[in-house]
Each structure stands twice: as structure tokens, then as C-alpha cells.
Amino acid sequence: MNEIKDFQQTHQDSASNPTNADEPLKQETSSKETISNMMNAIKNKNIHFELTEDEKEDGYFNVTNNKCRFGNCDGTGFIYTKVNKRWKTSECKCRQELILNRKLYNAQIEPEFFDSSLTKLSDIDDYLTLYRLQPREHPVPLEDVIQQLKLNIKTRKKPANVGSWKELPEEYHADTYIDMYYSRVQQRKASEFFTGYINSIFKRIENNQKTINLLLFGEPGAAKSYTSSAIAKTFLKKGKTAFYVRMKKLIDNPKILEESIQTIKDSEICIFDELGGEYHKETKWALKQIQDIIKMRQEQNLPTIVITNLYPHELHTLYKQKVMSIFNGKFLPIHMVNSVDLRIHFQLNDIAGEDFLL
């Protein structure tokens, strides 16, 4: 009986308040209209996607109302096609590119290297030679080599009676040191070598095997930073993490080091650029931090690439044996020898694509 009374009371309330009685019907109508409006928006390609803060942090962002540079979508970043009377949505290349660029930005890659790729290295194979250095079985003692070179390595100051570096006698050349302390083994073409390196690293990471670290050195303009950026970009495109570190910026600002230290430790590949360029007397604490980080990455089988314009004996003079011990036997030294300034080569290629030159 109580149930009947409750029902009667509810029915009376509904009759006395027609607004409440019609509410379910209005809600149903409203829902149908909402769905209909959404379907029309999709059909008319007039839908706006909002991303969460987490998605934005992960490198995703809304590209609605931007113009598609490929001309494939209407600026939303999505392509809508009708298949068997049903609408199908796919991600546009412009959105994929923007997401990748955001990841490159978060990885601290310089914007000038956003377009870098390992396949483009084939364009410079004729201008770039790679040598892998192997310590000789009985090398000349390092201290004797440095003494023999008679070179102020910290400033690369040439003798007063010499007009240019090209006029230096042979005993001053860095190649003299390399040949006394190492044997040089010429590698495959740069594009083939670094592609092989990447494939090997991915397999080693997958199998939790010991990875290979690289020490890339050579004169400015040898495409060291370009190549390393292309490697980092390949990691990001594979859904892995990468981080690019500029030593001088990191060491000159302890706060940046403190904020970045966990990312440096955990990234699936980490690149330290400009080693030696940051050198000054007040860097002992920061260098100790970098030394510990590299050791930790080695223990976790995470690959590390170090880039420098200095030669091994110059690094040894700057950092002494304690710091250099982290490289000995754990980094593969690759001497990148360029016949032209490859920075100019890439700049000219970029300019050649501009319409005003046509």
C-alpha cells in the first residue's frame, strides 16, 4: 500500500507541476539534438577538439584554425573521408609534424635542426669521412705527446711567428697526436654508419643489453650537432625519449642543471654538446654531477653521445684523468673529418628552396 501511495503522490506532483512531468521528455529531446549537432559538425568539418593539460604536457596540442601547409586538411589537423556512407577520421600529416616539433622543442633540440634526418646525411657523404679511433697497443705516453706538441691547448694559442694554423709545422697538428696514440680505422659512409648505430641501439635497448656510447669530435662544421639531432629525432619518432644538453648553458646555470638532472638521467638517449666549451675553474661541482650522471646512464644501459670540437688530448689536458676515465673504454671515439663547412652546405640547401631564387 505504501508503494501505491508513493506512486499516487508522485503522479499528483507531476500533474500539479507539468514542468517536472515534461522534464524527461525534454532531456531526451535535448540529447538527440546534441548528438544530431555533433554529427552535423563532423559532416561539415566544423568540429573543435580541446586537449587536456596532460595531453599538452605530453607534446600534443590543438591545431584547429591553423592552415595546413600540406593542403590536406582544413586546419583542424584531421582528415575526414566518407566510406560506405560513414565518416572516417584520420590524423593529418600537419598535425603529426606539429606534435613532433613540440617533442623536439621539449627535448631541447635547436629549431634549426628540426628538419634533420639520417637520410639527409647521404647528401654529405662525399664531404664527410668518419674514423674510429683504437688505442695502440704500445702508444707513446700521453704526457710526452702533449709536451711534444708544444701547444697551449686551453686557448689553442698558436706560436707568435706563425700566421695561420695551416702554416703550423706538422708536429703541431692534432693528427700527429692521433697517429701517435691511436690507430684510425675508416668507417662506412656517415649515413650508413649512423643508421647502423641507431638500429643496433634499438635492438640493444629492447634486449636490455649494454649499449654503445659515442664521442664525436672534429673541427666546427663537421655536422656533429646535426647528426646527433637527427639521432635524437629518430628516437622521438619511435616513441622514445631524448634530451639534448649544452654543457656551457647547463654548467653556467646550476638551476638549469638541478631542474634537468632527472630528465638527463632517465632519457632513453642523452646528448651532451659543446664539451670543453664550458671549461673554467668554477665548474668542478657541475662536472662531478655530469660525471655521476654519465656513470648512472651506463649502469642503466642508456646510450649517451658526447660532442666536442676538441681532440682527445685537449680534453685530457682540460679535465685530467679523473674525469676522462668515464670515456676510456666506454665511449667509441669517432673522428668526423669534413672537407667543407657542412653548416654552410645545409644553409645553402635551405635557401635554395626559397621562391625568391626561382
pLDDT of the residue at 53: 55
pLDDT at site 63 = 46
User: What is the pLDDT at residue 358?
Assistant: 33
DSSP state of 282: G
Q: What is the DSSP letter of 310?
A: S
Say if CB 265 and CB 297 are below 8 A apart. yes
Checking DSSP bridges between strand 331-338 and strand 213-217, what pairing results, if any? parallel
What is the pLDDT, as a whole number, of residue 344? 76
| CATH superfamily, with its number, for domain 111-346 | P-loop containing nucleotide triphosphate hydrolases (3.40.50.300)
Q: Which residue from 273, 226, 21 is spatially nearest to 115, judged by alpha carbons?
A: 226
Sequence ranges of the domains in the chain: 1-44, 47-106, 111-346
pLDDT score recorded for residue 224: 94
Q: What is the pLDDT of residue 39?
A: 60
pLDDT of residue 236: 96
For position 193, what pLDDT does the model report? 95
Mean pLDDT by 10 residues, the chain (358 residues): 40 47 52 64 54 50 64 87 86 90 93 91 90 77 59 46 48 65 87 94 89 91 94 95 89 81 92 77 67 87 92 75 72 89 67 39
Contact in structure between 274 and 240 (CB atoms under 8 Å): no
- Grid coordinates given for 82: 566518407
Provide the pLDDT for residue 41.
61
Q: For the chain, what is the largest distance between any 2 Cα atoms, rounded to a whole number of angstroms? A: 117
**Residue 191 CB coordination number (10 Å):** 20
Q: Please check whether residue 60 is in contact with residue 51, taking contact to mean a CB–CB distance below 8 angstroms.
A: yes
Cell of 240: 622514445
**pLDDT for residue 263:** 92
pTM of the model: 0.71
